[in-house]
């Protein structure tokens, strides 16, 4: 869907995307991939892709800054330094060696073989080793044993950086115009890998020649484009060869833990569906290009996804989802802590079942940290992606606002994929190099309310001729500018405590002569429209919403609310921020596929947020109780399977598996 830019969601639920003319694919919420979802990770995502941005919570360097140092204070962050090329280890894997040799041969034979010269060639490989264990009702439902997948993208450009086969010709409705995707052998057989690259490179070369001829003919017949920037930026050579970490098989350990955890849901009669999914993966990215860049980077990721849903008597389906990701098994919560998370989720669902349906509303509200992060991802982040300022079919909301104030002066916004953690929480949007071989770096997008720049891939736009390390894609799409780790910072002088922010909400609600304000505790994700000719709207999908009354009555949960709004107006309505940032991890779907992202923000008080009723079905709750509740408890070995006493010790260490691919089954 070209108009909807993104849905950021947390669970495996599907949500209907905002309507968009000429949509190409539905947007589905999904689990996040430990960065596969691109930026590293390993949770299976929906296979369908969308050109419209859509954010979902994933159930799924020495770097030159692009602008001045961040002026606003930011939460404590951890970075993994990327060594300079001169200091990088030089021992390349068999995959890099195969890419290197076939690159050399292809350039020598094909550079001037067609009507248009080949001026750039890149091979990037995405390799994923993963296991996934799913349990329901205390029993295993699905066990995906250690498997490996390996895909290559061949990016071949003909013409020149000024005009090449990637040039947009307006009627384009999606497609890969300069990238050919092929599946590679999972074993490190050099000749086999090179043979697959040879076939893909041949296809890419022929397609590039045809496409370039079409670009030239169409350009001659059309009015001059608003942005006359080059089609591609040449970047500096990078060399980074990171050793591939050992793959550890956690299958048996995850099997037992998932079963024990999933049995806890058996204690709650109102639950309809529930599951615990445990995933471990190692994602390795390789890149070799004609500029001389060689990158081999690898990351291990652990993911626990907890899901539960219920149906209320009026037919409304309610669901909650928790995802916990870590880059090391020792960083995962203990089994006892995971049990607490499950019980909290179940008790919240129970409370929501008794809650009234939300009414249409426009008034003051607080967006808690994670919800505020999604808010900024949708209303600002997508609209600052560089290619959206250049393409004629985009709304270009902020194209001419660089140097102008677009939000309160106490707010600054940075996107820094090089940050691995904030306040101890690992970020899904972390990476060392983007998918075009450019180093990740901090980019100050908004400084004290003033727009400074855009997120850039290697597609230049007016005023910004170079990439700042945000060219991203999945294995089957062209890279474009995408968000990584978006961070919202409030000037310390304007930060208040969470309690003070609540008092300010009540005061503003009284000033507006309303009986209650709203607090959005958590969201499943959101989506936004950026295409020209469509309303420039965003939608956010709350999971936990409460009313805060001005007369002192206790707070009250409500259900069935969606947030809707327009970006420019919404940014101007931010009144205050708390001193407690929180991070949302998810996966984002747009033109270049699904990529892992993070959004971090303090809680925000907004002068006015509009709420509309959520669509609901007419499905009734299950007619019969679950079998476990239809017989005496004593006869069930699963009911009440609490593990809060002494959970079985877990070292989260398994059998080592060689990274050479020999022990992995073919997908």
Determine phi and psi for 388, rounding to 5 degrees.
-75, -15
pLDDT of res. 219 = 83
Specify the pLDDT at position 531.
81
Q: What is the pLDDT confidence band of residue 144, given thresholds at 50, 70 and 90?
A: confident
CA distance 359 to 162: 54
Q: Is pLDDT larger for residue 202 or for residue 168?
A: 202
Instruction: Say whether 346 sits in a helix, a strand or coil.
Output: helix
- Structural domain contains residue 617: no
380 vs 15, more confident: 380
Mean pLDDT of 514-525: 94
Mean pLDDT of 580-596: 93
CA distance 494 to 485: 23
The answer to whether residue 585 scores a pLDDT higher than 80 is yes
- Using DSSP, state whether 665 is helix, strand or coil: strand
Alpha carbon of 234 to those of 321, 436, 460, 466: distances in Å?
43, 11, 10, 8
Considering the domain boundaries, does residue 623 fall inside one? no
* pLDDT at res. 177: 65
Q: Which of 616, 516, 612 shows the shortest CA–CA distance to 564?
A: 612
Q: What is the pLDDT of residue 154?
A: 97
* More confident of the two residues 292 and 628: 292
* pLDDT tens, position by position, 619-662: 888 888 888 888 665 544 444 444 543 444 444 444 333 333 33
What is the per-residue pLDDT across 338-357, written as a single tens digit (0 to 9) for each? 999 999 999 999 999 999 99
Residue 207, number of CB atoms within 10 A of its CB: 18
What is residue 176's predicted lDDT score, i.e. its pLDDT? 58
564 lies in a domain?
no
pLDDT digits (tens, 9 = 90+) for 243-259: 998 888 888 899 999 99
Domain count, the chain: 1
pTM tops 0.95: no
Percentage of residues in the chain with pLDDT exceeding 90? 66
Average pLDDT in the 358-374 region? 96
CATH code for the domain in which residue 152 is found: 3.30.2290.10
pLDDT of the residue at 178: 75
* Domain contains 12: no
Average pLDDT over residues 302-325: 94
Query: Which tokens hold the place of 455?
Result: 């997120």
Domain membership flag for residue 535: no
131-142 per-position pLDDT tens digit:
999 999 999 999
> Does the residue 500 lie in any domain?
no
**CB distance 617 to 560 below 8 Å:** no
Average model confidence (pLDDT) for the chain? 83
In the chain, what is the straight-line distance between the N-terminal and C-terminal CA atoms, in Å? 29
Asked if pLDDT for residue 458 goes beyond 60, the answer is yes
pLDDT digits (tens, 9 = 90+) for 88-100: 445 679 999 999 9
| More confidently predicted of 58 and 530 | 530
Residue 1: closest CA among 461, 527, 377: 527
pLDDT on residue 515: 97
Residue 646 placed within a domain: no
Q: In which domain, by residue range, is 164 found?
A: 35-48+85-355+372-493+577-592
104 pLDDT higher than 90: yes
257 within a domain of the structure (yes/no): yes
pLDDT in the model for residue 518: 98
Q: In 385-515, where do the E strands start and end?
A: 411-415, 419-422, 425-426, 443-447, 450-451, 471-472, 480-481, 485-490, 495-496
Mean pLDDT (whole number) for 182-206: 97
Q: What share of the chain is helix, strand, coil (3-state, %, to 5)?
A: 20, 35, 45
Give the pLDDT confidence of 551-574 residue by residue, as tens digits. Answer: 999 999 999 999 999 888 999 999
Whether 67 shows a pLDDT value over 50: the answer reads: no
């Amino acid at each position: 869907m070209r108009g909807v830019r993104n849905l950021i969601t947390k669970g495996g639920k599907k949500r209907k995307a905002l309507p968009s003319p000429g949509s190409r694919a539905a947007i589905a919420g999904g689990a996040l991939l430990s960065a596969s979802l691109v930026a590293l990770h390993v949770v299976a995502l929906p296979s369908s892709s969308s050109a419209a941005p859509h954010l979902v919570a994933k159930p799924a360097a020495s770097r030159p800054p692009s602008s001045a140092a961040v002026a606003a204070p930011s939460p404590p962050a951890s970075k993994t330094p990327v060594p300079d090329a001169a200091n990088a280890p030089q021992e390349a894997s068999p995959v890099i060696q195969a890419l290197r040799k076939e690159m050399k041969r292809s350039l020598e034979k094909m550079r001037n073989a067609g009507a248009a010269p080949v001026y750039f060639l890149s091979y990037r490989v995405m390799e994923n080793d993963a296991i996934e264990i799913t349990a329901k009702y205390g029993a295993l439902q699905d066990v995906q044993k250690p498997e490996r997948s390996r895909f290559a993208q061949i990016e071949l450009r003909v013409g020149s950086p000024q005009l090449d086969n990637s040039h947009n010709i307006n009627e384009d409705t999606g497609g890969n115009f300069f990238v050919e995707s092929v599946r590679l052998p999972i074993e490190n057989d050099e000749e086999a890998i090179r043979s697959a690259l040879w076939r893909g490179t041949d296809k890419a070369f022929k397609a590039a020649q045809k496409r370039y001829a079409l670009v030239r003919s169409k350009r001659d017949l059309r009015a001059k484009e608003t942005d006359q920037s080059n089609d591609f930026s040449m970047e500096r050579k990078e060399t980074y060869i990171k050793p591939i970490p050992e793959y550890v098989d956690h299958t048996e350990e995850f099997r037992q833990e998932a079963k024990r955890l999933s049995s806890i849901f058996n204690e709650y009669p109102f639950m309809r569906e529930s599951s615990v999914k445990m995933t471990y993966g190692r994602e390795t990215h390789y890149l070799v290009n004609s500029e001389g860049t060689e990158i081999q980077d690898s990351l291990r990721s652990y993911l626990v996804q907890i899901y539960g849903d219920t149906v209320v008597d009026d037919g409304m389906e309610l669901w909650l989802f928790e995802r916990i990701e870590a880059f090391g098994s020792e960083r995962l919560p203990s089994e006892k802590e995971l049990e607490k998370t499950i019980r909290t989720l179940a008790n919240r669902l129970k409370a929501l079942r008794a809650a009234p349906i939300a009414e249409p509303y426009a008034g003051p509200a607080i967006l808690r940290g994670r919800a505020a992060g999604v808010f900024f991802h949708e209303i600002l982040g997508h609209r600052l992606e560089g290619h959206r300022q250049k393409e004629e079919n985009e709304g270009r909301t902020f194209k001419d606002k660089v140097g102008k104030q677009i939000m309160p002066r106490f707010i600054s916004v940075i996107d820094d994929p090089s940050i691995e953690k904030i306040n101890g929480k690992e970020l899904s949007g972390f990476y060392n190099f983007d998918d075009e071989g450019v180093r990740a770096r901090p980019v100050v997008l908004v400084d004290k309310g003033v727009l400074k720049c855009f997120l850039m891939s290697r597609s230049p736009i007016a005023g910004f001729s170079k990439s700042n390390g945000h060219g991203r894609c999945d294995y089957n799409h062209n890279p474009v500018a995408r968000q990584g780790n978006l961070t919202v910072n409030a000037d310390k002088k304007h930060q208040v405590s969470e309690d003070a922010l609540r008092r300010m909400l009540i005061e503003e609600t009284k000033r507006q002569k309303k009986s209650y304000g709203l607090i959005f505790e958590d969201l499943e994700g959101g989506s936004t429209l950026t295409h020209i000719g469509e309303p420039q709207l965003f939608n956010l999908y709350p999971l936990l919403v409460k009313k805060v009354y001005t007369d002192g009555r206790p707070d009250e949960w409500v259900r069935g609310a969606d947030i809707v709004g327009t970006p420019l107006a919404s940014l101007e309505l931010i009144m205050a921020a708390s001193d407690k940032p929180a991070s949302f991890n998810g996966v984002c779907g747009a033109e270049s596929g699904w990529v892992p992202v993070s959004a971090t923000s303090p809680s925000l008080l907004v002068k006015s947020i509009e709420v509309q009723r959520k669509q609901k079905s007419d499905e009734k709750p299950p007619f019969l109780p679950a079998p476990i509740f239809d017989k005496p408890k004593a006869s069930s070995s699963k009911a009440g399977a609490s593990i809060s006493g002494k959970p079985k010790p877990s070292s989260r260490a398994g059998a080592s598996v060689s990274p050479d691919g020999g022990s992995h089954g073919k997908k």
